Each structure stands twice: as C-alpha cells, then as structure tokens.
C-alpha cells in the first residue's frame, strides 16, 4: 500500500489546496518535505496521522478553531491509495477504482475527509467517506486496515514502548507468540513464587488475607492470595514487553525512557526497518519528522541510509531541514513548502 495522491485544503496554514503526488525513483518510494520553520511540513504528516491512527475513530477526532485557516470553510483531505494487496481489496469490495496502465490493471482506493466547525457549539464535525460512494462512511474496523506509522519531532519514547497504539505495540500485535505462550506464563508464575519469599511482601499478603477473611467467608487454605507478574495470555504478555539497551561496560540494561532522544529516534527507525525487512510487517506507511534531530552528523547520514533502504519496501514520508539528506534524494521526491510573499498565506510547490 502507498499513497498515490494527497490533497489538503483549509487545514492550519494552507489556504489553497496542497497537491502531493509521491514518486518512486530508483526503487525508493519517498516523499521529503522541506521548508523553513512554521511553513507547514509537520501539518501534512499530522493530518495523515489524525486520519489513519488505528486507535482513534474519526468521530472522536477533535479539531480546534486554529486548525481551520477559514472557519467558514471545511477542512478537506482527499487521499488515494494504490498498490493494494488482494487481501486489502477484499475488505473494500465496491469501493476501489481500477485503471489499465501499460496493459496491467491497477487498483486504487480513494477516500475523502471533511471537517466543519460549528461556531455556535464550538465543536467540529469530522467525516471520512469513500470517494466512490460519498454517502457511505469509512467504519472504524475498515480504517484500521490502513496503517500510518508516525514518529513526531518530540521523540516520545512511548512510540517504542508496548502500549496500545504505539509504533512498537502495533508491530508486536502482528507477532504470533502462541507456541511460546505457556513457557512464558510458567516463567512469570515462578516470578510470583519468588515475590512471596520477601518477608515484607509475605507479611503484607498475610495481613490482606486476614482482613479479607474477617469480612467474608473464604476457604482456609494457604496461599489464598499472592502477588504476581500479571499475564494470562499472549495479549497480556505483549502489553508488558519492553525494549532495553545494555549499558556500556556493565551487564545492566536500560529502559527506553532512560536513553537519550537521539538514540530513541534511531531505535524507532530500527524497529520499523527490522520488522519490514524480515517481512513481518503488514502493509503500512512510515513517517518521521526531523529524523536528524539529536544526532551527530555522521549518525544522521547513517540514519538517512536506513530510511532510504526502508523506502524500498515501504513508502516513507520525511520532514527535514537537513541538506545532507537532500543531496541523496532525487529532486522529484522533494516537496518544497514555502511562504507566499504577502506573509501569512502559504503555498506548496515542488522542484521540477
């Protein structure tokens, strides 16, 4: 799956329609957004994340007055997906368009998003519909089939934690642990047995048991209550999986939140790149804002190489200030976002 065409209008600083048509050059499917600060690069990635975040339904999206360039007009987004797998097409029967290109039938999925602002109630009214049938809304289950993985410039370490909706968590959901489930649960059970050997925990649990029995009639058995590392299924196991990095010069491991922002950024790309590279990642589009942030120049170049390799198997969207990355990218894949001469209005243009 890839975005074939994207149109955005009236969102934040875009008064006119933004048109982006991603290009595949030398086998790399990339869109590189460049421009000065506050020109609107991040806004493009943000609206895509809003629409295709699998943990948020469209009706729960909240748009503020500042998200509208003109409050009297709706925000509009038109996005057309191509390179649809047979499995994905089967979920959107009747909603895809086809076109014969060079003697080969190609399939496309057009979607349209609008959001109006009610000045009386101060509430927004978002809607995502099918381009072929504008009277039919895209359901939450259907929307979740479209995966857009986004890492913003803030480098929130939760993106590589296993919490619901995070990049890492969404990838873990695609891994089958059924063969190892019982072994892992047995090991966690042993951890619970070890906890009770602590005298303070033993006294605490004994006290809880005694008070509980005084209130309600419970069986007089030993080990009625215990503390344990809670997990009863692979779903629970995945919720508690953490990525850790071994500390230099010791056997101690560090949690993600203990690492620097640059290393967190690298791990985000590494996680996605690794799963895509071994073929364990479902269809999806990857986006990252300012991948060069918090990295030394030599690390930036290595990061760019990995992102370019990733673009050979997945479409990648990047917003950047780095001239180093631009030196390696075909000009047709660069999208220049710049201000108009009259100030607060912006426009989109691309090098020819």
| Cα–Cα distance, 147 to 149 (Å, whole number) | 6
| Cα–Cα distance, 58 to 126 (Å, whole number) | 7
| Cα–Cα distance, 88 to 95 (Å, whole number) | 11
What is the β-pairing status of strands 28-34 and 316-320? parallel
| 283 Ramachandran zone, left/alpha/beta (phi>0; psi -120 to 50) | beta
- The two tokens of residue 287 are 């986006």
Question: What is residue 97's predicted lDDT score, i.e. its pLDDT?
Answer: 92
Q: What is the pLDDT along the chain (352 residues), one digit of tens a residue?
A: 999 999 999 999 888 888 999 999 999 999 999 988 888 899 999 999 999 988 889 999 999 999 999 999 999 999 999 999 888 899 999 999 988 888 888 999 999 999 999 999 999 999 999 999 999 999 999 998 888 888 887 655 555 555 555 666 766 777 777 887 788 778 777 777 787 788 887 787 787 778 777 777 777 777 777 677 666 676 676 677 777 787 777 778 777 777 777 777 777 777 777 766 655 556 689 898 988 887 888 888 888 888 898 899 899 999 998 887 888 888 899 998 887 665 444 555 554 5
Question: What is residue 349's predicted lDDT score, i.e. its pLDDT?
Answer: 53
How many angstroms separate the first and last alpha carbons of the chain?
26
| 57 Ramachandran zone, left/alpha/beta (phi>0; psi -120 to 50) | beta
Question: What is residue 343's predicted lDDT score, i.e. its pLDDT?
Answer: 44
| Cα torsion 181, 186, 187, 189: sign | positive
Question: What is residue 22's predicted lDDT score, i.e. its pLDDT?
Answer: 95
Structural contact between residues 178 and 234, judged by C-beta atoms closer than 8 angstroms: yes
| Cα–Cα distance, 206 to 202 (Å, whole number) | 6
- The two tokens of residue 83 are 């390179």
- Domains of the chain and any CATH numbers: 2-161+261-349 (3.40.50.300), 172-241 (no CATH)
């Amino acid at each position: 799956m890839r975005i074939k065409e994207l149109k955005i209008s009236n969102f934040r600083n875009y008064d006119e329609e933004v048109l982006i048509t991603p290009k595949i050059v030398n086998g790399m499917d990339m869109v590189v957004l460049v421009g000065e600060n506050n020109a609107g690069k991040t806004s493009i990635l943000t609206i895509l994340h809003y629409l295709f975040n699998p943990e948020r339904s469209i009706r729960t999206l909240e748009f503020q007055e500042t998200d509208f360039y003109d409050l009297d007009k709706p925000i509009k987004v038109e996005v057309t997906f191509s390179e649809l797998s047979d499995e994905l097409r089967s979920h959107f029967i009747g909603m895809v368009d086809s076109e014969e290109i060079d003697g080969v039938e190609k399939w496309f999925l057009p979607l349209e998003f609008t959001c109006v602002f009610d000045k009386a109630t101060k509430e927004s009214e978002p809607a995502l519909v099918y381009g072929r049938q504008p009277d039919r809304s895209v359901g939450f289950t259907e929307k979740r089939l479209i995966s857009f993985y986004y890492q913003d410039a803030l480098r929130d370490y939760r993106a590589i934690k296993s919490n619901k909706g995070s990049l890492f968590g969404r990838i873990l959901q695609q891994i089958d642990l059924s063969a190892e489930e019982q072994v892992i649960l047995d090991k966690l059970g042993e951890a619970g047995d070890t906890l009770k050997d602590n005298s303070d925990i033993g006294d605490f649990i004994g006290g809880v048991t005694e008070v509980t029995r005084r209130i309600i009639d419970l069986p007089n058995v030993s080990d009625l209550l215990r503390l344990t590392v809670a997990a009863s299924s692979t779903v629970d196991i995945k919720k508690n999986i953490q990525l850790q990095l071994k500390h230099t010069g010791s056997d101690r491991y560090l949690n993600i939140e203990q690492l620097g922002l640059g290393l967190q950024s690298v791990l985000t790309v590494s996680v996605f790149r690794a799963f895509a590279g071994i073929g364990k990642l479902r269809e999806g589009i990857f986006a990252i804002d300012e991948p060069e942030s918090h990295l030394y120049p030599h690390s930036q170049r290595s990061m760019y190489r990995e992102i370019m390799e990733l673009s050979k198997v997945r479409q990648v969207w990047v917003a950047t200030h780095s001239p180093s990355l631009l030196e390696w990218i075909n000009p047709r894949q660069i999208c220049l976002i710049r201000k108009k001469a009259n100030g607060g209005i912006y426009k989109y243009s691309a090098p020819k």
